[in-house]
Structure 1
Amino acid sequence: MNNAEMLLMGGRVTANVVRVGDTVRRPITADRTQIHDLLVHLEERGFGGTPRYLGVDDQNREILSFLPGSVPSDLGHFHDAQLVAAAALLRRFHDATADFPLVRNSGAEVICHNDWGPPNAVFLDDLPCGLIDFDTIAPGLRLWDLGYSAFAWLDLGNADYTGDEQIRRLCLLAGAYGVPGCSAAQIAIYAVARQSALAVSGRVQGKTEMADWALSAASWTILNVTERLSPTGYALCSCV
């Protein structure tokens, strides 16, 4: 058995996360009981897109199964097939969490990953096939998670894209997720909410650059996507 430790790279990696054989060891710095319970629940539901929780080692590190593949280091351009796969994977994740006790007890719809973007996706054969990093999970609405996912996977707010192209890609993502009530127009509204929330979080944490980027992204999304799909009545399209 190979017990050599290999520091994991790629994505936005938590410090000191290592691979040991076919497992991942991650330092436990806070109560992760809810995360471990969720991973066990997902395994029981037959969901194969997340690591398996295997216990705690003698260095007080959680032991997770290793998902083979690669993890992007940041946002970027992802082609249509990758967007479809990302949305379909999120749908399966949400469906598998709908009867998780925390969801039932809170009156929510699903467990939200809350950070489902390329840096938390494991790619295999050029497609996202696994979700990792569950530090931000919470019970919530499908649309709340979809809003952030659209922001991250489509890079909403990047002026290199036209509004027409981002609306097309957003419709593709909504169609792949495939839940009535989660239309492209509704996802766009929640994308702005998530961008705005990130801007506020950045201000509170003193991360000015992040806050400015998120606020700029929200403004672009309102003018080029949201206003066209769900007009506010403020005649904003005349400003574009």
Structure 2
Amino acid sequence: MTAEDEALVGGMANAGAVFRRDTVVDRPAPRNAPALHAYLRALKDHGFDAAPTPVALTADGREQLTFLPGDVALPPFPERAMSRTVLASVGALVRRLHEAGAAVGVDPRAEWPHDLADPEGGTVLCHNDVCPENVVLREGRAAALIDFDMAAPGRPLWDLAMTARYWVPMLDPTSAAAYYPRGLDAPARLRVLADGYGLSPRERAELPAVVEQATDVCRTFVARRVADGDRVFVEALAERGGWERWDRLHAWLSNHRETFTTALLR
């Protein structure tokens, strides 16, 4: 890196290793970068211009992608980033991704990461990490998605459930208070996200249970990283209340499943 490089903040796995150089972002390349780059180029060919365009892979294991201008919300998330207008636009953006992705298909020869993948599989490449830090905002709306490192085949409903976890958020009030504005109405916001996406009645009825399934997969992902001694995840787990937080979240989601279903189908 040179003195002119701008370090980009945010994220956990690549914290401190992502830099912007003029119109290019230089970051660690995922192991499946060739397949992922082919997918991103195909998305653009099918009219989805809301993702970075691959520029190059370097010999030292890094990748270069086009920089997408705009704002990215970082925790603690400001109220302007959590507006219902932004939330609905996130749903619409994920729908656009899935429609383009359905046209592209999934390369069966590629090795996609299993960390946050839909355990039931699927024919659409899900982003799997549509958190506020990975959504570029422009003029109060979601304009683009970045960081496709966790992308893997799955159901579109799975990807929306993952998105809901971060954007509604699907967190008990104690957990949400650490990073989100107070007073967010989770059932109403889940409905806003589903409306923005254009979710069908059948999928609306299924969504709360899929959110619970996605939450269990996320817990397993964290447990693996902690067991491997990943310092970032060990420290984050301790700072966020340990496994008690995950137990509390599991109970909260289960106890409110009917409330969420009613809001979605109202």
Normalized against structure 1, the TM-score is what? Answer: 0.82
Cα distance in 1 for partners of 2:44, 2:132 equals 23
How big is the alpha-carbon RMSD for the aligned residues of Structure 1 and Structure 2?
2.9
Go from structure 1 to structure 2 and tell me whether the alpha carbon gap of 1:5 and 1:57 turns closer, same or farther (over 3 Å shift).
farther
Go from structure 1 to structure 2 and tell me whether the alpha carbon gap of 1:75 and 1:128 turns closer, same or farther (over 3 Å shift).
farther
Go from structure 1 to structure 2 and tell me whether the alpha carbon gap of 1:7 and 1:166 turns closer, same or farther (over 3 Å shift).
same
**Number of residues paired by the alignment?**
228
Q: Percent identity?
A: 27
Alpha carbons 2:46, 2:104 under 8 Å: kept: no
Deviant stretches of 4+, over 4 Å: 57-60, 103-107, 160-163, 207-211
Aligned to 1:24: 25
Go from structure 1 to structure 2 and tell me whether the alpha carbon gap of 1:59 and 1:200 turns closer, same or farther (over 3 Å shift).
closer
Cα distance in 2 for partners of 1:7, 1:124 equals 21
Check if 1:96 corresponds to 2:109: no
Go from structure 1 to structure 2 and tell me whether the alpha carbon gap of 1:187 and 1:84 turns closer, same or farther (over 3 Å shift).
same
Residue correspondence of structure 1 range 24-173 to structure 2 within 5 A: 24-28=25-29, 30-57=31-58, 60-74=61-75, 76=77, 78-102=82-106, 108-159=122-173, 165-173=185-193
* Bigger RCO (CA 8 Å, 6+ sep): 2
Q: Residues 27-77 of structure 1, C-alpha deviation per residue, up to 9 Å, x if partnerless?
A: 235231121111111111121110111123465531211000121223645
Amino acid at match of 1:9: V
Alpha carbons 1:200, 1:211 under 8 Å: kept: no
Aligned to 1:4: 4
Aligned to 1:235: none
Amino acid at match of 1:55: A
Check if 1:176 corresponds to 2:196: yes
Go from structure 1 to structure 2 and tell me whether the alpha carbon gap of 1:175 and 1:63 turns closer, same or farther (over 3 Å shift).
same
Aligned to 1:227: 258
Normalized against structure 2, the TM-score is what? Answer: 0.75
> Structure 1 residue 101: deviation in Å?
3.8
Structure 1, unpaired ranges of 5+: 232-240
